[in-house]
Structure 1
Amino acid sequence: MLTEHALFAPGTWLSKPVKVVLDTLELMNLQNIRVLDLGCGVGRNSIPLAQKVKAFNGTITCVDLLPSAIDYLLENARTYDVRDQIRAETADAEAYAIPTAYFDYIVACSCLEHVSSVEAFRAVVSRMIHGTKENGMNAILMSTEVQECLLASGEIQDGRIELNMKTDSAFADLRELYADWEIMLEKQLPQKIRETKYSQEIEFRGTWITFIARKR
């Protein structure tokens, strides 16, 4: 398995799951729970979620645009003995049809900043809302106000990301869309990540937002 796809490898962005995603799961009844992980990648969150629900007959539906990501996800599911808990689909989150009131918990982590427009963002969130059972929860985590600093020159440019929302605008849209829900958490943190991109050393800068809500 390629290093960049190896789950829980020290020193990589896959070294551990996102804590709040797992903490939110603990607030729910796990028996027969249905979880949807939009933009699942190779299973950074899906595999630990599956481990937690395995004893409760729970399932994780995992959706990613890249067939290679789904292949690595399934390999990881076998490695961590949760293959029976994983339902994997290759699909674009922007167009993915979510059955009405079907899931107990829907996670979109590092996913919604890759849709094509604000209208698409709102449409996906609306489908998440309609696809959630009563008392179910949604967790949205995404990068906003992304910039890339070229370290050699100090030049700063807008991040090359599909949907580069302002932080305040993202929160405003989410509060409007989830007006009938109980908002459990709103949080923002600055991000700075150094990486090699376009054959240059850059510093990825932005604001990482977390929004968690429960359907009343």
Structure 2
Amino acid sequence: MDRSLLEIRQEEAFYHSNHYQQFTIESSNSWLGYPVTNLVNLGVSLSNSTQSSRFLDLGCGVGRNAIPIARGTANKLIIDCVDLLPDAIHSFSKTVEKTDIEPSFNFFIRDIANFELQAATYDYIFSVSTLEHLASKKQLIRVLQAIKEAMKTMGCVYLIINSEVSEFLIEKQQLIPPFLEVNLSSTEINELLVDIFSGWTIIDSEVKALSYTIERRIGLTEMKTSAITFVAQNDG
């Protein structure tokens, strides 16, 4: 049984909105409290290597990765932050208001498929567990191509994309169709990435098996995924 786009989006909104109410980026008992270390370190390095830079966080959530980057930079930095959930953007903006973070944030409540990317605009584009939530493989390809075009020379992408996802309803001890729009094999996604970003230097490319407990309206599920990390630089 395939799930409808509406059903998937509603379920993901339920999970994330509930999680954002219970935890913050300071929580040690949630994934929110643990930014992607290498992603953040690369962002800080890129920002500190030039006097002025512009970054893009696609699927920013409540700022799990963007805020640590901002805290680590010593130079002028603008971060455009895009998320579909108003709750996420509201929480993110409130966190920024309460702190002394210097970089400028622009917030967009938008489906990333509808966020217009201008050519040669960004020094760094990062996205964690978001691109697989585009509506279709065709849309995924289009957005990846737009990301490539939006990058400045010497800019980098840092993408984490889930693949081969399965979900197991714990209470009933049964597999269920995963709440995911684009569920491709890791091989297929890697081939797409290598093809689209051909001519760029690949800094890192790896696949890691991960497992999470997810709170769904039907009960707790165990989600297993082959998470792809892809990091590449447009070195001209």
TM above 0.5? yes
AA in 2 matched with 1:122: I
1:154 is matched with which residue? Answer: 173
Q: Residue 60 of structure 2: which of 36, 40, 51 is its match?
A: 40
Structure 1: where are the runs of 5+ without partners? Answer: none
Aligned counterparts, 1:34-113, within 5 A: 34-53=54-73, 55-82=74-101, 84-113=103-132
C-alpha spacing 1:17/1:148, structure 2 compared with 1 (3 Å): same
1:172 is matched with which residue? Answer: 191
Residues matched between the structures, number = 215
1:18 is matched with which residue? Answer: 36
Aligned Cα root-mean-square deviation (Å):
1.7
- Following TM superposition, by how much is the alpha carbon of 1:83 offset from its aligned partner in structure 2, in angstroms? 6.3
Contact 1:185–1:212 under 8 Å retained in 2: yes
* Distance (whole Å) between structure 1 residues aligned to residue 40 and residue 103 of structure 2: 19
- Is 1:145 the counterpart of 2:161 in the alignment? no
Percent identity (aligned): 27
Contact 1:47–1:76 under 8 Å retained in 2: no
Structure 1's consecutive aligned runs of 4 or more residues displaced over 4 angstroms after TM superposition are none
SS, match of residue 88 in structure 2: helix
Structure 2: where are the runs of 5+ without partners? Answer: 1-18
AA in 1 matched with 2:168: C
C-alpha spacing 1:163/1:155, structure 2 compared with 1 (3 Å): same
- Following TM superposition, by how much is the alpha carbon of 1:26 offset from its aligned partner in structure 2, in angstroms? 4.3
- Is 1:207 the counterpart of 2:210 in the alignment? no
Contact 1:5–1:42 under 8 Å retained in 2: no
* Distance (whole Å) between structure 2 residues aligned to residue 25 and residue 84 of structure 1: 13
Q: Residue 210 of structure 2: which of 188, 191, 194 is its match?
A: 191
Contact 2:76–2:103 under 8 Å retained in 1: no
What are the superposed Cα offsets for residues 56-102 of structure 1, whole Å, 9 maximum, x if unpaired?
A: 01111111112221111101112332265211111111121111101
- Following TM superposition, by how much is the alpha carbon of 1:172 offset from its aligned partner in structure 2, in angstroms? 0.5
* Distance (whole Å) between structure 2 residues aligned to residue 198 and residue 89 of structure 1: 27
* Distance (whole Å) between structure 2 residues aligned to residue 36 and residue 128 of structure 1: 10
AA in 1 matched with 2:30: T
SS, match of residue 8 in structure 1: coil
Contact 1:33–1:57 under 8 Å retained in 2: yes
Contact 2:167–2:224 under 8 Å retained in 1: yes
- Is 1:4 the counterpart of 2:22 in the alignment? yes
SS, match of residue 33 in structure 1: strand
AA in 2 matched with 1:25: G
* Distance (whole Å) between structure 2 residues aligned to residue 184 and residue 2 of structure 1: 32
AA in 2 matched with 1:44: R
AA in 2 matched with 1:32: S
SS, match of residue 31 in structure 2: coil
